Amino acid sequence: MIQEGIVRHGIGRLVSLIPTLLMLITIAFFLIRVAPGGPFDSEKPLPPEIRANLDAKYHLDEPLVQQYFRYLGQILVLDFGPSYQYKDWTVNELIARGFPVSLTIGGLAMVLAFVFGTSIGIAAALRQNSAVDYGAMGFAMLGISIPNFVIAPALILLFAVYAGWLPAGGWDWSVQRMILPVVTLALPVIAYIARLTRGSMIEVLHSNYIRTARAKGLPMSQIIRRHALKPALLPVISYMGPATAGLITGSVIIERIYSIPGLGSYFVTGALNRDYTLVMGVVIFYGVVIILLNFIVDLLYAWLNPRIRYDEAS
């Protein structure tokens, strides 16, 4: 009965995602075309014949609407086409190369952020207005307000240059090279999750059903674990959907500073070069990741919250 409700809930949500995705593709497609310039514009114009050949090869000479439908057809078979700038690379290959790196760093950062963020938040909520609370929230405020392009060089300076414990950058799938970028990515998220957890935990602790639990004579640790944790983490779970999408699709800044061959840099270079297929590919990929993660959060939410679960089932 419970499972049935969640499955039905899930299928309904999945179907409703298709128009969202179609809209994303459409807007992205025309928006990048509206931007002045094209993939083969350069300071020294190409000879007209070569330009015409290139345009014909990539079907850029066709009417825009025809190109749009051709592109939709490609997407249906999951072919993002060749990159205009990275010769001999398809967009699929570029994504397949960059994404595992970004996914690893981002995923680790999210795990770190969830564990530390919720722990700090709960600790602060339980000792509201104490030194622990003020300390934790002060740290959180710093974590949120200091941009990561400041944190990253500071960490490099401390741990790579002065202490010499960790490499300053580069990528070879070794743990040492992952630590600094993962920590840099995680810090602001830890801070945000800590604040979120603290706020919702305090609210939950003031609710009537916690008072009922206290009147039962249960020890506080059991009340927190059994009665307060689940409702207090619900807002954190819904934040984690889009936050995880942002982390695992790669941060341009982090990848630049630590010289990591992730997905993030393709966003920027693709857009600057008017590399239509690359931009489209990365945008759609990013969109799909966000949509999927929100979908997972939705399911988690339904699973955690009996009221949603049963409304859908009945």
- Binding region for another protein (CB under 8 A): 128, 207-209, 211-220, 222, 226-227, 230-231, 304-307, 310
CB of 201 to another protein, least distance (A): 14
Beta carbons within 10 angstroms of residue 233's beta carbon? 23
Pick between residue 42 and residue 221 the one whose CB is nearest to another protein. 221
How far apart are alpha carbons 278 and 216 in whole angstroms?
60
SS3 44: coil
CB of 230 to another protein, least distance (A): 5
CB of 194 to another protein, least distance (A): 21
Pick between residue 42 and residue 208 the one whose CB is nearest to another protein. 208
CB of 221 to another protein, least distance (A): 11
In angstroms, how far is the first alpha carbon of the chain from the final one? 10
Pick between residue 54 and residue 210 the one whose CB is nearest to another protein. 210
CB of 128 to another protein, least distance (A): 8
Pick between residue 54 and residue 229 the one whose CB is nearest to another protein. 229
SS3 216: coil
Q: Between 175-205 and 131-145, two packed helices, what is the crossing angle to 10 degrees?
A: 130
- The DSSP bridge partners found for residue 90 are 82
CB of 314 to another protein, least distance (A): 10
Task: Report which of 110, 120, 104, 134 is spatially closest to residue 191, judged by C-alpha positions.
Answer: 120
The three-point CA angle 96-278-282 to 5° equals: 60
Q: Find tokens 């619900």 and name the residue.
A: 234
How far apart are alpha carbons 47 and 37 in whole angstroms?
17
CB of 138 to another protein, least distance (A): 22
Please give the structure tokens belonging to residue 183.
Answer: 């920590």
Interior/surface letters 114-143, b for 16+ CB within 10 angstroms, e for the rest: bebbbebbbbbbbeeeeeebeebbebbeeb
Pick between residue 118 and residue 184 the one whose CB is nearest to another protein. 118
Pick between residue 126 and residue 280 the one whose CB is nearest to another protein. 126
Pick between residue 125 and residue 185 the one whose CB is nearest to another protein. 125
Pick between residue 224 and residue 291 the one whose CB is nearest to another protein. 224
- The DSSP bridge partners found for residue 82 are 90
SS3 90: strand
CB of 238 to another protein, least distance (A): 15
DSSP string, 200-233: HHHHHHTSHHHHHHHHTT--HHHIIIIIIHHHHH
Task: Report which of 219, 41, 185, 163 is spatially closest to residue 117, judged by C-alpha positions.
Answer: 185
